[in-house]
Amino acid sequence: MADSLAAFVEIARVRVDEALERYLPRPPRCPPLVSEAMRYSVFAGGKRFRPILTLTAANATAALTNGDGADLLGPAATLALPTACAIEMIHTYSLVHDDLPAMDNDQLRRGRPTLHVVYGDGIAILAGDALQAEAFALIAREPASLDPAITARKLRVVEIIGEAAGAIGMVGGQAIDLQAAGQAPGRSLALDATGLQGMHLRKTGALIRASAVGGAIMAGGDRQTLAAIDQWASEIGLAFQIVDDILDVEGSAQDLGKTAGKDAAGAKPTYPSLYGVARARQMADDCADRARSVLESAHVTRGWLGAIAEWVVTRRN
């Protein structure tokens, strides 16, 4: 039982890290170099925000059905843990590929040199590919169960994560980002406010939504609960990206664990560049307010989802 959001997040982070260590393949199942490269990025640090959302949503869903939504060792969290780890694998793979010279060409990620800087582009691409493939294998494999209801939930989660990571989600958002940055020859794209929001709903928001909804599905949420958590996560995903844009302007590389000022240097459209920092911050706060209202309307009030909304808009890294 955790008595504060900070305590809950720390317990959840430890549990996710322990599970990732178990789930990631090791030699002789895979070549040592691939295992080493995968672990270099997965265990480089990071907030574990997305898998924590998965566990938080699972617990909140369980609290609605049986009143037991606080135990990170309880049945709901246990069912959702493989999905949480798969989400982190997908997220890490996306960072590895985004950092490549052909994409954002970043040298720093989570406070250390990016994977391609240390291992080269080829191994970085392969490690990212391996993380994505392993994520879906993990959901199919764990939790091991012959219960048709659990199997059906896992299939639904695979569909949701696949869509969030693919052409209608992250991949599509990154393609729009490359066009907007003039990195797709002959296909430059000028983004207005609507276009910017659409890009981020795909690039960042889709996987955040899948994280929360996936946890709720594994915990057996009904249609109304899933819809509420999906809407909550949509608002949180947008707020998260707006704050990321602000931190790129105001933050330091030391605080962020990645290169600051990259958006401005690359003339990328961002919320501060379109609206100014003050208006962008208010937009993030409005997203958090709407997210909390969604939870109240759906009576999803137990657990830490509301507190996470507050953390998203007040974080400094």
Q: Domain ranges for the chain, please list them.
A: 5-222
Mean pLDDT, the chain, rounded, equals 91
Radius of gyration of the chain (CA): 19
Query: What would the two tokens of residue 193 be?
Result: 């406010």
**What are the Cα distances from residue 256, in Å, to 82, 95, 304?**
28, 14, 24
| Least confident range of 185-189, 222-226, 307-311 | 185-189
CATH number (1.10.730.10, 1.10.600.10, 1.10.10.60, 1.10.10.10) of 5-222 reads 1.10.600.10
Q: How far apart are CA 251 and CA 256, in angstroms?
A: 7
Structure confidence at residue 185 (pLDDT): 77
Q: How far apart are CA 315 and CA 181, in angstroms?
A: 27
90 within 8 A of 165, measured Cβ to Cβ: yes
Residues recorded for the chain: 317
For residue range 91-107, list pLDDT tens digits in order.
Answer: 999 999 999 999 999 99
Q: How far apart are CA 144 and CA 242, in angstroms?
A: 39
**Which residues, including other chains, have CB under 8 Å from residue 302's CB and lie 6 or more apart?**
60, 63, 64, 69, 70
**What are the Cα distances from residue 93, in Å, to 40, 53, 212?**
12, 18, 19
End-to-end CA distance of the chain: 26
Element (H, E) at 108: strand 108-109
| Higher per-residue pLDDT: 61 or 65 | 61
Q: How far apart are CA 196 and CA 273, in angstroms?
A: 11
Query: What would the two tokens of residue 91 be?
Result: 């997220």
pTM, entire model: 0.91
